[in-house]
Chains A and B, each alone.
Chain A
Amino acid sequence: MRLRLLVLAALAWSASAWAQATAWGRPEEQFDVMNLLTDLGHHDIVTESFNAYGQLTTISSWKLAFPAAYTNANGSPSSLLSEAERSFTTSATLFLSVSSWKNGEAYFVPEVIAERPLSGLHGLGGAIQNFELQKTGGDTPQLYRSRLFLRHTFELGGEKIEKTSDPMQLGAHVDARRLVLTAGNFSTIDVLDRNTFTSDPRQQFLNMAFMTYAAFDFASDARGYAWGGAAELYFDAWAVRFARMSPPQLPNQLQVGLRLDQLYGDQLELEHTHSLFGRAGAVRVLGYRNRATMGRFDDAVAAWRADPSKNAAACPGFSYGSQNASAPDLCWVRGPNVKLGLGVNVEQHLTPDLGVFFRGMISDGESEVQAYTSTDRSIAFGVSGKGGAWHRPLDVAGVGFAMAWVSRPHADYLRLGGIDGFIGDGGLKQAAETVFELFYSVNVLWALWLTADYQHISNPAFNADRGPVDIVGGRLHAEF
């Protein structure tokens, strides 16, 4: 199930690629096949009828041994193991885009991934160390279709703006006022919650806390993708985006529900781009409402208090495998429930190559994680930039800090020994989970980067009885 998070991470990458296209753009000195074809006179990269890009990313994370008052207490299986561990992901992706008709585009993105999470992808709330980790997968490479969707743009006037050629973006000139409709198989964060400085985990921060709001439980399957539709209305500096996407049939599973009139994930985002002291920036406000099959924490506790035989070890159906016979479990109370959240996303260029970001979200915290992380409230902020100032324009560096919390009902449930899709130590001394991340990516050659990364995570799984945890990582990333 936790592998689903990995999918979400991949989705976030695509969002980042888009964000780069709008803010930083694709550096002319960076190698890729489409520029090569253009240089050879075989392609028009400004007004494209097709494009094809690819990427290969390998990430290794080494978690050092850390102190813990207890681990997997009373049969709960969801702690981050306290001994040293290593995790890896390797992904390869092809981004195929074609102009299907006038103002229409079709996209197909096959992807292969191999992975090994830390502790079976258990024990971290909003600070999962590698955005690529999915809730399904393993050491053996697995090929899947990450995206297959159509897009149509209705031009509504205004000045012409350039959309540069990028993965999942055909080079084109479009009206500043336009309506963009997308339908098919894609990720919510392909469309919503972009941020120039923190949405591209294959080039920027590795930790999931920076990919999107940690508390944004956006509807998706176990890989982070979904079926659905989105509408984006752009009116000069303003944009409004709405998407209705398919939720998983059961929390954090690969199977999705396609009766979008019954169960769904809705999100609405308002964006305003601005110029502050001559530097570009943007402010986004996003609200989401999921109606999906989830269990409410208070309901699980009440069911267990009323009848202790309804405990985690006796689950009759889908559960996360706890053997704690003295703990409540969400398995007894799952059904159609509603989850709400509201967040703010801010980005601001300080120089052409450097910028700061902030994200903060509050979710209602009444029901379990269904698709992203176990977090109910989150903030993340930091600074990220390119190395133009030191004559390394393709290098990327960043430092960020994120905090995450669980709600009172969620904490009560965990304290009693309950688990959700990712966390549950069998007990809880409630505290905010925090992560500090520092990285530097060296552009080694053409479009090949090597990254060194350090993460310090306090109170893993919101539990002050455990941690802190230090994780060092390396990333090899190639684009073509």
Chain B
Amino acid sequence: MRSSSALALVLGLAGVSCPASAEPHGFALERLVQAPAGSGGWLTDDLRQSGGLGGAVAASLGYAHRPLRVAAVELVSAEALADLAVTISYDRFRFFASVASPLYLTGRGGTVNGVELVPPNVTLENHPDSLADARLGVSARLLGAAGGAFRLGADAQLFVPTGAQEDFQSDGTLRSLIRVLVAGNTSAVDFAGALGVHLRPRGDAAVPVGPRGPELQLAASAGVRIAVAGREGALRVGPELFAVTALRSAFAPETSGVEALLGARFEARREDGVRYRLKLGAGGGIAPAFGVPEWRVVAGVELLGGEP
């Protein structure tokens, strides 16, 4: 291949180039950045990775209702995504990747402040094989034992612009997320949190409520563990909270969002020894910003190998 083509491929694989769409105003809408496969709840990492080589795969389906309104225009009225994720863990590290497939996105167009807004139109028929931005990441438990009362860690995530802007699945640029993680547990209660910065170069979205550059992100969760009688399993139920604000106009109502989920997770072991988790979550927006829906449901399954 020509050197330019080879370069394009290399850069594309690295996520440095390949803006996905000619549509000028689309951006990565989804706010529910899931925790790595096998790492705990929907939003937070339990920092329990330890021991030898292990891993997890996860698949989930999610639906968000009215995740993007611009003035009176319901630009994205429905969004359904399938998310697939894989994690490899070793000692105190997790290396993870995930990518979502947009299954259904729809909305209504309109004009706001002289900007013509074009809604997405995604179905399996007209987008039979499309993917959103791919995510690569690493997390590490820095302080505390895997089963200890308190653990401190960090993660870094890279979002490669493989999605289409017109489908509201990508900013068209590389993004990254760097966070400090905490987790711990008592005899019956788990808690975890994350605080970090979403390095989002895009701050010029034509959509009035679109991205405004780097964002501060907070995620927190707590859960009660309930043993399931007669089975080698456990149920964990608890709330999860996600908040974001653009650093450029921190805590301003139009650039800040808060969303809460009530999550439930059942964990058990198959006949062949593989552990699995069934997860459910439901909730909605408390303070609206782009990507924070009126309500959301999400369901998933995880298969885990290696150290328990």
Please say whether chains A and B are actual partners in one complex.
yes
A interface list, Cβ under 8 A from B: 37, 42, 49-50, 52, 58, 60, 86, 88, 90, 92, 96, 98-102, 106, 108, 110, 112, 114, 116, 139-146, 148, 185, 221, 223, 225-227, 246, 249, 254-258
Q: Which of B1, B52, B53, B82 contacts A90 (CB 8 A)?
A: B1
Chain A residues closer than 8 Å to B128, beta-carbon distance: 185, 221, 225-227, 246, 254-256
Q: Does the CB pair A145–B272 fall under 8 Å?
A: no
Closest B residue to A141 by beta carbon equals B12
Name the distance in Å between A144's Cβ and chain B's nearest Cβ: 4
Would you give 12 A-B contacts (Cβ < 8 Å), ordered by A? A42-B53, A49-B272, A88-B2, A90-B5, A96-B86, A108-B84, A116-B5, A139-B4, A142-B18, A143-B134, A148-B82, A246-B128
Whether B13 pairs with A96 at a CB distance below 8 angstroms is no
Complex CA–CA separation, A54 to B58 (angstroms): 19
Docked Cα-Cα span, A249 to B57, in Å, equals 34
Q: Chain B 1-32, CB within 8 Å of chain A: the 1/0 string?
A: 11011101100110001100000000000000
Contact status of A58 and B99, CB under 8 A, knowing A144-B129, A144-B130, A255-B126: no
**For B53, what are the chain A residues with a Cβ–Cβ distance below 8 Å?**
37, 42
Task: Note all chain B residues with C-beta closer than 8 A to A52.
Answer: 86
Q: Which residues of B contact A148 (CB under 8 A)?
A: 82, 84, 101
Do the beta carbons of B129 and A146 come within 8 Å of each other? yes
Question: Is there contact, CB below 8 Å, between A98 and B57?
Answer: yes
Contact call A145/B130, Cβ cutoff below 8 A = yes
**Contact between B57 and A96 (Cβ–Cβ < 8 Å)?**
yes
CB distance from B122 to the nearest CB of A (A): 11
Question: Is B5 in contact with A110, judged by CB distance below 8 angstroms?
Answer: no
Say whether B57 contacts A88, CB under 8 Å: no
How distant is the Cα of A110 from the Cα of B82 in the complex, in angstroms?
Answer: 14
With A139-B8, A145-B101, A146-B129: A227-B52 Cβ-Cβ less than 8 Å: no
Cβ of A51 to closest chain B Cβ, rounded Å: 11
- The answer to whether A90 touches B125 (Cβ under 8 A) is no
How far, in whole Å, are A92 and B99 apart by their CA atoms in the complex? 16
Q: Which residues of B contact A140 (CB under 8 A)?
A: 8, 12, 17-18
A37–B55 CA distance with the chains assembled, in angstroms: 13
Verify A227–B124 contact, CB threshold 8 A: yes
A-B contact count (CB 8 A): 105
B5 → A minimal CB distance (Å): 5
Which listed residue, B5, B18, B125, B129, touches A249 by the CB 8 Å rule?
B125
With A143-B134, A227-B128, A255-B125: A112-B101 Cβ-Cβ less than 8 Å: no
* Inter-chain contacts of B18 with A (CB < 8 A): 140-142
Chain B residues with a Cβ under 8 A of chain A: 1-2, 4-6, 8-9, 12-13, 17-18, 52-53, 55, 57, 59, 82, 84, 86, 99, 101, 124-126, 128-131, 134, 162, 270-272, 274, 303, 305
User: Using Cβ atoms and an 8 Å threshold, which residues of chain A touch B55?
Assistant: 50
Q: Which of B52, B130, B274 contacts A49 (CB 8 A)?
A: B274
Partner of B131, one of A98, A106, A141, A145: A145
CB distance from A313 to the nearest CB of B (A): 28
Asked if residues B125 and A258 are in contact (CB atoms below 8 Å), the reply is yes
Q: Given that A60-B1, A140-B17, A257-B125 are contacting pairs, would A50 and B9 also be in contact in the complex, using a CB cutoff of 8 Å?
A: no
Q: A141-B12, A225-B128 known; A100 and B17 CB under 8 Å?
A: no
- Residues from chain B with a CB closer than 8 A to the CB of A141 are 8-9, 12-13, 18
| Extra A-B contacts (19), CB below 8 Å, given A112-B9, A249-B125, A256-B128 | A42-B53, A88-B5, A99-B274, A102-B270, A102-B271, A110-B99, A112-B13, A114-B1, A139-B8, A140-B12, A142-B12, A145-B99, A146-B129, A148-B82, A221-B128, A227-B124, A227-B128, A254-B128, A255-B126
Please measure, in the bound complex, the distance between the C-alpha atom of A92 and the C-alpha atom of B10, giving whole angstroms: 11
B161 to chain A, nearest CB (A): 10
Evaluate contact between B86 and A143: CB separation under 8 angstroms. no
Question: In the complex, how many angstroms separate the beta carbon of A461 from the nearest chain B beta carbon?
Answer: 26
Residues of A within 8 A of B82 (CB): 148
Q: With a 10 A CB-CB cut-off, give which of B8, B9, B53, B131 has the most chain A CB atoms.
A: B9
Q: Is the CB of A114 within 8 A of B271?
A: no
The answer on a CB contact under 8 Å between A100 and B303 is yes
Alpha-carbon distance A144/B162, docked complex (angstroms): 8
Q: Are B1 and A88 in contact (CB under 8 A)?
A: yes
- How far is A223 from B130 in the complex, measured between Cα atoms in Å? 12
For B274, the chain A residues whose CB sits under 8 A away are: 49, 99
CA of A146 to CA of B99 in the docked complex: distance in angstroms? 13
The reply to whether A114 and B9 form a contact with Cβ atoms under 8 Å apart is yes
A140-B12, A221-B129 given; A90·B303 CB < 8 A? no
Tell me, rounded to whole Å, the shortest Cβ–Cβ distance linking A221 to chain B.
5
Q: Does the CB pair B84–A114 fall under 8 Å?
A: no
Q: Determine whether the beta carbon of B9 is less than 8 Å from that of A110.
A: no
Residues in B neighbouring A225, C-beta threshold 8 A: 128-129
Task: Tell me the complex Cα distance, A305–B231, Å.
Answer: 76
Residues of the B chain whose Cβ atoms lie less than 8 Å from the Cβ of A90: 1, 5-6, 9
Q: Which residues of B contact A99 (CB under 8 A)?
A: 272, 274, 303
Inter-chain contacts of A60 with B (CB < 8 A): 1
Bound state CA distance, A88 and B162, in angstroms?
21
Of all chain B residues, the one with the shortest Cβ separation from A97 is: B57
